[in-house]
């Protein structure tokens, strides 16, 4: 799935030259109707959906003071909301063993983010916020959907990768020239093959970190939430069987 037909056609041709009958669908992850159409068309084509890879990305260099709220929102909508929109729409197929019917076991979701938010990166406040959101969603889904549907949810956070638009747009050598001589860490880039092999591994195996990590069952959390809300509406102190709320300071 992608917005530009020329790139889709190129990718589809590459797959088919290897004997892989891959379809390509034009669509924008910022649009609910596009996401629904493409997910449903994919299921109709294959008869099942086993694996979803979220890799949509919007990026450009801009100082925070020059970034408009609309520009910030656009990147968030592509990266983080687009990721949510897609896995939320695909759940109806993936949670049923990839078969679109009630069976035990689920499929796999792989979310691609970045490393920008791990420390700090020049002129990337919008993308750092968006990729941090993707990582947070990945962890939450690994817990919830791993427990509820046995869906493996994993993430890959690539650094700079050779031969990608991201590297050409965010060339660290160009950035260095506008940083008044500020020193930078040694720059080492990876290869597309590195990410491809990581994705293949995570889509076929591995991933049992969060789905059994909770110390409290989801039923207990739901019941506690209902009790606290009920007490809140009645004006009673929010205290439940030995589980106090935060003390007033």
pLDDT in tens, 83-128: 999 999 999 999 876 554 444 557 999 999 999 899 988 899 999 9
For the cut 60, the answer to whether the pLDDT of residue 230 exceeds it is yes
120 domain-assigned: yes
184 domain-assigned: yes
Q: How many helices (H) and strands (E) does the chain have?
A: 9, 5
187 domain-assigned: yes
Look up the pTM and report it. 0.76
CATH number, domain with residue 172: 3.40.50.720
105 domain-assigned: yes
Helix, strand, coil in percent for the chain, rounding step 5? 50, 10, 40
Position 160 scores a pLDDT of 82
41 domain-assigned: no
pLDDT more than 70, % of the chain: 77
224 domain-assigned: no
Closest CA to 211 of 155, 125, 148: 148
Position 233 scores a pLDDT of 80
Range of the domain at 127: 50-211
The number of folded domains in the chain is: 1
For the cut 80, the answer to whether the pLDDT of residue 130 exceeds it is yes
Q: Is 129 helix (H, G, I), strand (E, B) or coil?
A: helix
For the cut 90, the answer to whether the pLDDT of residue 218 exceeds it is no
């Amino acid at each position: 799935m992608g917005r530009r037909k020329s790139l889709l056609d190129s990718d589809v041709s590459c797959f088919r030259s290897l004997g892989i009958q891959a379809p390509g669908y034009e669509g924008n992850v910022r649009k609910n109707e596009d996401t629904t159409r493409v997910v449903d068309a994919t299921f109709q084509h294959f008869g099942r959906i086993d694996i979803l890879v979220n890799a949509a990305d919007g990026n450009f260099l801009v100082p925070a003071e020059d970034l408009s709220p609309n520009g910030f929102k656009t990147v968030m909508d592509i990266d983080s909301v687009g990721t949510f929109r897609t896995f939320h729409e695909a759940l109806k197929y993936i949670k049923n063993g990839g078969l679109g019917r009630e069976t035990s076991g689920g499929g796999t979701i792989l979310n691609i983010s970045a490393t920008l938010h791990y420390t700090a990166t020049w002129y990337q406040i919008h993308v750092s916020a968006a990729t941090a959101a993707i990582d947070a969603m990945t962890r939450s889904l690994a817990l919830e959907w791993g427990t509820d549907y046995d869906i493996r949810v994993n993430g890959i956070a690539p650094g700079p990768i050779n031969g990608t638009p991201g590297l050409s747009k965010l060339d660290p050598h160009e950035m260095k020239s506008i940083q008044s001589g500020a020193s930078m860490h040694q720059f080492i880039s990876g290869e597309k093959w590195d990410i491809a092999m990581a994705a293949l591994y995570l889509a076929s195996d591995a991933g049992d970190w969060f789905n059994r990590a909770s110390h409290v069952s989801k039923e207990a959390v739901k019941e506690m939430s209902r009790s606290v809300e009920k007490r809140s509406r009645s004006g009673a102190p929010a205290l439940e069987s030995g589980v106090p709320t935060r003390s007033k300071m």
